[in-house]
């Protein structure tokens, strides 16, 4: 491995750091490799920083994956991993194996991928505009027209029919249209409802509230229905025009929204970092550009292991 690490001046330092992490994590290193590793760490401060960033990434992967993925076995099979993309591949593998993803595939009637928007016309003429990484299930039967928002965000235009209410289930509650156009965004286990026309009735945890045109409310399985507040509907639904507008929003929420328009993964493992506040107008088709602006304005740092995996930290 010594000869390979002599080329570190010409290669990305993270590539070399990744190789060392894989070799060290696979088990005890020979004495010659240990000496070479320690020498490489001592050569430049950037070397040690890069290695620590790789260690941070891998610790976060192990903490978040829903099923145990044998990273060591994967590494030993590969034996020689020469790029940062390899670590990203391990991360993606761990995330993609989750039961949540499998459940989504089985439950959704319509869905979008990252960065995609789509308009779905339902049997009664009602329309649903789906944002990036969004999914719905449709259940029209009997006296009710029911749509379940499984993931992401949807703009709902319900065809009036008093005999068959139009109901959207989300976040362990429901939103019933009262001749209405409205938006629902899922942020973690919270549903945020924004009414563009007429009114809706939100039912959750045994309670109910009417939200009128130009108002917004949130609810969830552990969050009572909030009192409606007046909002700028155009700002809240700017994603339909290719813009993402945030006004004093928590960074965790902002990153979760940006992640729906990014072909990869954006992570904020620190609770303190997730609570930082963000305001700004960004292009939905450039989430990495938005992250760069946020990183600079909040004076936080990002670990980038290819553009597919970005970790924001303090």
Q: Domains (ranges, CATH) in the chain?
A: 2-97 (no CATH), 108-231 (2.60.120.1440), 242-313 (3.55.50.30)
Is the pLDDT assigned to residue 112 strictly greater than 90?
Answer: yes
Burial bucket for residue 188 (CB in 10 Å: 0-12, 13-18, 19+): exposed
Average pLDDT, the chain: 83
pLDDT digits (tens, 9 = 90+) for 74-91: 444 444 443 444 455 445
Longest dimension (CA), the chain: 79
Of 4-13, 100-109, 186-195, where does the model show the most confidence? 186-195
Taking the C-alpha atoms of residue 17 and residue 152, their distance in angstroms, rounded to an integer, is 36
Q: Which pLDDT does position 190 carry in this prediction? A: 96
Weakest mean pLDDT among 79-83, 122-126, 262-266: 79-83
pLDDT digits (tens, 9 = 90+) for 51-70: 887 777 666 555 554 444 44
Choose between 98 and 155: higher pLDDT.
Answer: 155
| Residue range 140-155: mean pLDDT, rounded | 94
Of 104, 159, 160, residue with least CA distance to 137: 104
Weakest mean pLDDT among 7-16, 146-155, 227-236, 305-314: 7-16
């Amino acid at each position: 491995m010594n000869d390979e690490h002599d080329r570190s001046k010409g290669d990305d330092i993270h590539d070399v750091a990744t190789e060392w992490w894989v070799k060290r994590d696979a088990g005890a290193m020979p004495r010659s490799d240990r000496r070479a590793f320690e020498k490489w760490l001592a050569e430049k401060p950037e070397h040690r920083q890069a290695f620590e960033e790789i260690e941070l990434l891998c610790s976060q992967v192990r903490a978040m994956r829903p099923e145990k993925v044998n990273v060591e076995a994967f590494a030993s099979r590969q034996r020689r991993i020469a790029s940062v993309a390899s670590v990203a591949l391990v991360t993606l593998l761990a995330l993609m194996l989750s039961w949540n993803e499998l459940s989504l595939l089985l439950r959704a009637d319509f869905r979008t991928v990252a960065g995609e928007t789509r308009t779905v016309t339902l049997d009664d003429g009602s329309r649903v505009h789906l944002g990036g990484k969004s999914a719905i299930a449709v259940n029209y039967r009997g006296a009710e027209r029911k749509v379940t928002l499984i993931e992401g965000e949807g703009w709902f235009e319900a065809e009036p029919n008093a005999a068959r209410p139009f109901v959207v289930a989300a976040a362990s509650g429901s939103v019933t249209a009262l001749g209405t156009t409205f938006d629902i965004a899922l942020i973690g286990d919270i549903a945020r409802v924004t009414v563009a026309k007429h009114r809706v009735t939100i039912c959750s945890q045994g309670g109910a509230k009417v939200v009128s045109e130009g108002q917004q409310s949130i609810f969830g399985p552990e969050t009572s229905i909030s009192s409606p507040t007046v909002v700028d509907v155009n700002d809240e639904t700017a994603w339909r025009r290719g813009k993402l507008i945030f006004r004093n929003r928590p960074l965790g929420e902002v990153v979760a929204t940006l992640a729906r328009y990014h072909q990869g993964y954006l992570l904020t493992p620190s609770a303190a970092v997730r609570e930082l506040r963000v305001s700004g107008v960004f292009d939905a088709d450039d989430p990495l550009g938005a992250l760069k602006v946020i990183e600079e304005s909040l004076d936080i740092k990002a670990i980038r292991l290819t553009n597919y995996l970005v970790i924001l930290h303090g």
